[in-house]
Structure 1
Amino acid sequence: MKPVVHHPLITLTLGGLILSLPMGSVASDKQTPWQSKLNEHLNGQWQQEWAGDRRESQKMEAQLQLEWEQDFTDGWLAQTSLTAIARLRLDAEGLLTDGSTRQTYSSASEPWINNRHSQLELREFYLDAEWWNLYWRLGKQQVVWGQADGLKVLDVVTPQSYREFILDDFDDSRIPLWMVNVEWLTSDSSSLQFLWIPDTSYHDLAQGDNPYTVTSPLRVPSPSNIQQAVDGVTTDQPRKPNHWLKDSDAGVRYSQFWRGWDLTLNYFYHYRDFYVPYQAIEANTDVTTAPASGTVLHVQPRYQRSHLIGGTASNAFGNLTLRTEIGWYSHSHHIAEYSANNQGIESSPELSSVIGLDWQGFSDTLISVQWFQSLLLDYDRRMIRDHNEQTLSLLLERKLANDTWTLKLQGLYSLNHQDQLWRPKISYLWRSNVELWLGADVFSGTSKGLYGQFDNNDRVVVGFEWGF
């Protein structure tokens, strides 16, 4: 008689359904050939997370992500591989999305299911190949440019979901796009990357009663910017580019390792993923409001193109690593005092940059500081934002007990508005494939700032992830 194998169980809660699943794999002598072959190519992660405060639960979310990879050895697909990643999210609270996010996605990228409590989507689906001495990645994918943490300067190739502001991990919040990604190794120390992106998907912003719906006047038009009284604000759906060819984006990046420096030069011609909220004063035609003969501020969002030219440089000097990143945008658009001529928007070229220092002088300890700047080169005093916006970031990370415990503190502080975001977190690696964590997200500042607008949204976060 064969011995009975008992595997440790992990209990998961999924929308009120409790599941107990084995942490170990099923014994090989009980697997069929089909199951054994599937396990060779399939892996995944199950993540469960709760967030809330003493007043209410903000989310009770289960996330299942499955990744399948297949290598090919015969025919014209020889020496290629295919990767597919799907993700299912179920949230018992239903506060972080209102189900209307499809308007920001192209028809090829929109989630298969998207409502308040569930989202099912094909995250990535791409073919890796080496043809004609070029490395190709064809299909739906993420592309990351730049090295900054917390905020972005050059990492603008793929849009992002802001359903939890910037609290979600970038790998989870990025919106992968269908594209052609080609890399040419020009030498042992340099390469050239080409991108063509016919996918017209843009940032997915929080809306409605989502606790992270943006209200700051830096991003949202307000009647206070108008010299005349209005009876309210109406907002259209964004006018989104939708032609796969004429509205596509394209970019190129040159990478070089030179005398200890990792260097890149970047160019990207694209629609900026934040829409521009153009405005107009119009007669109130809504008979349900009074007085019907009054006026309203009518917001008409549209997306605008820009050229991005930039670069990165990084080098390690013993325990100290220096990182720099800079990007020049030919066009940036900002909310301003309203006039009939400017439609409540003024534009300017923009120079964004970050300087970062990472120090690892203590064992198992990382201290990282960054200084972000956004300078408008053709500033107009009617703009609501400042001429030069500056933000400081701090990251402290300490690993203990052979990397079993991780203590982490992240912070962002706006020098212009004195608002801030602090994120303490403690993680425990219970098994090699099971991690548990406890953290908090703490905002402070005035309602004008990007962080201070969420001053009442402080929360505690508890969760775990199981990899299989």
Structure 2
Amino acid sequence: MKKKLVPWGVFQKTPAVLKRFLLLGTFFGILLAPLGAQDDFGFGFDEEGEGEAPAPVSSLVPGIRIGGEIGAELVGYVYNFIPENFPGALGNIFSGKLNFSASGSNADGVINLNLRPVFDGSRSPVELDEAYARAYFGSFSIEGGLRKLTWGKADSLGPLDVVNPLDYRDLTAMSDMQRLKIARPLVHLSYAFGDFSKLEAVFVPWFEGHRFDTTGRWAPVQVTEMYSDLPLAMEDWLYQSGASPAAIISLMGVLLAAGPFSVTPPDTSTLDYAQGGFRFTTTWASSDLGFQYYYGRLPQPAIHIKGLKDYPNSSEGIHPQLTYTPYHQIGVDYAQVIRGFNLRAELAAHITEDLSGDDGGVYNPFLAWSLGFDRDLLWGINLNLQVNETIRLLQHRLTDNIAVDTEAGKKPTSTRLTGILSKKFLRDELELRTALIWGLEDQDVYILPGLFWTRGDVVLEFSGGVFAGNRQGELGQYRDNGFIKLGLTYTF
């Protein structure tokens, strides 16, 4: 019997959760009260998609500038502060950025560094975020290096923004899309036709998929359960396909003797994984239009059990592998202001090599679209709303066994609503903002309320995050990861 999901039934325990947040918030408030008493402190929030370096304050030599930010941030997870799970941790307090830029008569260069404390020596405290050079020749420009490039017009992860994969290892950063992006080595060409039209081309010589944790707080269930589910699914498939019990026992014995079940990842640093595309944007009447073609690899991996369907007649044996599905994308986007609504829309078709829908090691072709707007409402309240959806084609050809079909058991559509409601006070220094991400099919939600105070170059933040809904959903699985954040950032 299928369990009926009650979308908002999970909030029946809200009072207990609120009590935990209040206790943790009081702790933070006492800890940082001396900071809030200073007149020079403020509270702010970076807009989504902002990737430009802040205004520099110093020049080393003519044409070379340096800027960045220094921050102190405390993040407390509510689940760790209830008695049975105490003590909790507040994470690494310090973080920072250094942005270097150099300009010449027809060229410029940028190096952006992320600074993160490392106390166990496991990695360098300095990480390269972006590093690229750009040259101008009239209407033509060329840039190359490690780059985050935004395509499309959607505010939040539209289907046309495909050049950079995303880092999902810390979902407390979901309010900053630019921070989630992983810079890729690329060559980017651009040619302007007058003032309103532009043709772009990009070439990415090798590939990287989305990054996920395999253990710990932010490890998705789809990853952690894969290693336990796959052997059982393989055994079930072999029984159904008529393999002899002796052959099945022999295979499972070999797998168990090899130790923990593992899946071989591919080497994606070769030209076999090169990607590229073209994009043309123009203005027609009062509308901004874009047309795009891109060839690449889907950033989410697929599972392929090589030799399983032919076992025991396969001479090469059985080898579980991770693969990244190649695809062609054809897309269009549109933006226009109508009666105070800033409208944005994107539509894309993704064509994979599984045109019959029966290749379990390859993702099916699918459509993707987004529609959104932002508008000032009453009393200075601003609303930014966007809907994203993917629609899998040839859904009826999927099987129900993950060992032979990487999309087994998945719904034909995935729809997500993203909304941001904000209001500013005190000459725009104080901002109250709430962001919401709602998965419609899974009936789960991620809510990020926040209070931000900006004074000059200093930002003070008091925010949090709450996951709720179906525990089997992409968001609801993190219901124990509710958090409170206090941050102080100085931009120079």
Q: Cα–Cα, structure 1 residues 172 and 187, in superposed 2: closer, same or farther, change >3 Å?
A: same
> Contact conserved, 1:235 with 1:298, CA < 8 A, in 2?
no
Deviation, 1:218, is 11
Report the equivalent of 2:126: 120
Could you say what secondary structure the match of 1:323 adopts?
strand
User: What CA distance in whole angstroms lies between the structure 2 residues aligned with 1:357 and 1:218?
Assistant: 37
Report the equivalent of 1:362: 378
Q: Which amino acid aligns with 2:488?
A: F
> Contact conserved, 1:237 with 1:300, CA < 8 A, in 2?
yes
Could you say what secondary structure the match of 2:179 adopts?
helix
Which residue of the other structure, out of 368, 371, 375, is the alignment partner of 1:352? 368
Which residue of the other structure, out of 317, 334, 341, is the alignment partner of 1:320? 341
Aligned length: 387
Map of 1:43-442 to 2, 5 A cutoff? 43-54=67-78, 55=80, 56-57=88-89, 59-72=91-104, 78-90=105-117, 115=123, 119-131=125-137, 133-165=139-171, 167-168=173-174, 169-209=176-216, 211-216=217-222, 220=226, 222-223=229-230, 228=236, 234-243=261-270, 245-279=271-305, 299-331=320-352, 345=361, 347-362=363-378, 364-379=380-395, 380-382=397-399, 383-429=408-454, 431-442=455-466
Could you say what secondary structure the match of 2:110 adopts?
strand
Report the equivalent of 1:15: none
User: What CA distance in whole angstroms lies between the structure 1 residues aligned with 2:319 and 2:475?
Assistant: 26
Q: Cα–Cα, structure 1 residues 39 and 266, in superposed 2: closer, same or farther, change >3 Å?
A: closer
Q: Which amino acid aligns with 1:438?
A: F
Report the equivalent of 1:100: none
Report the equivalent of 2:18: none
TM-score by structure 2 length? 0.71
Q: Deviations over 1:47-91 (max 9, x none)?
A: 22222224122622422211111112xxxxx42112111222125
> Contact conserved, 1:47 with 1:64, CA < 8 A, in 2?
yes
Could you say what secondary structure the match of 1:385 adopts?
coil
Q: Cα–Cα, structure 1 residues 448 and 79, in superposed 2: closer, same or farther, change >3 Å?
A: same
Deviation, 1:325, is 1.0
Which residue of the other structure, out of 474, 479, 482, is the alignment partner of 1:450? 474
Which structure shows the bigger proportion of residues in helix conformation? 2
| Range that drifts further, 374-383 or 180-189 | 374-383
Q: Which amino acid aligns with 2:164?
A: T
> Contact conserved, 2:279 with 2:291, CA < 8 A, in 1?
yes
Report the equivalent of 1:8: none
Q: Cα–Cα, structure 1 residues 281 and 185, in superposed 2: closer, same or farther, change >3 Å?
A: closer
User: What CA distance in whole angstroms lies between the structure 1 residues aligned with 2:233 and 2:372?
Assistant: 36
Could you say what secondary structure the match of 1:403 adopts?
coil
Q: Deviations over 1:124-173 (max 9, x none)?
A: 12122112631122222110112334444221201121111473422122
Gapped regions of structure 1 (runs ≥ 5): 1-22, 24-33, 73-77, 95-112, 283-296
Could you say what secondary structure the match of 1:162 adopts?
coil
Q: Which amino acid aligns with 2:289?
A: L
Could you say what secondary structure the match of 1:204 adopts?
coil
> Contact conserved, 2:153 with 2:334, CA < 8 A, in 1?
no
- Percent identity reads 21
Which structure shows the bigger proportion of residues in strand conformation? 1
Q: Which amino acid aligns with 1:443?
A: F
Q: Cα–Cα, structure 1 residues 89 and 59, in superposed 2: closer, same or farther, change >3 Å?
A: same
Report the equivalent of 1:42: 66
Could you say what secondary structure the match of 1:172 adopts?
helix
Q: Which amino acid aligns with 1:449?
A: G
> Contact conserved, 1:324 with 1:354, CA < 8 A, in 2?
yes
Q: Cα–Cα, structure 1 residues 38 and 129, in superposed 2: closer, same or farther, change >3 Å?
A: closer
| Range that drifts further, 175-184 or 160-169 | 160-169
| Range that drifts further, 39-48 or 249-258 | 39-48
Q: Which amino acid aligns with 1:318?
A: R
> Contact conserved, 1:397 with 1:408, CA < 8 A, in 2?
yes
Gapped regions of structure 2 (runs ≥ 5): 1-39, 41-57, 81-87, 240-251, 309-317, 400-407
> Contact conserved, 2:264 with 2:320, CA < 8 A, in 1?
no
> Contact conserved, 1:238 with 1:275, CA < 8 A, in 2?
no
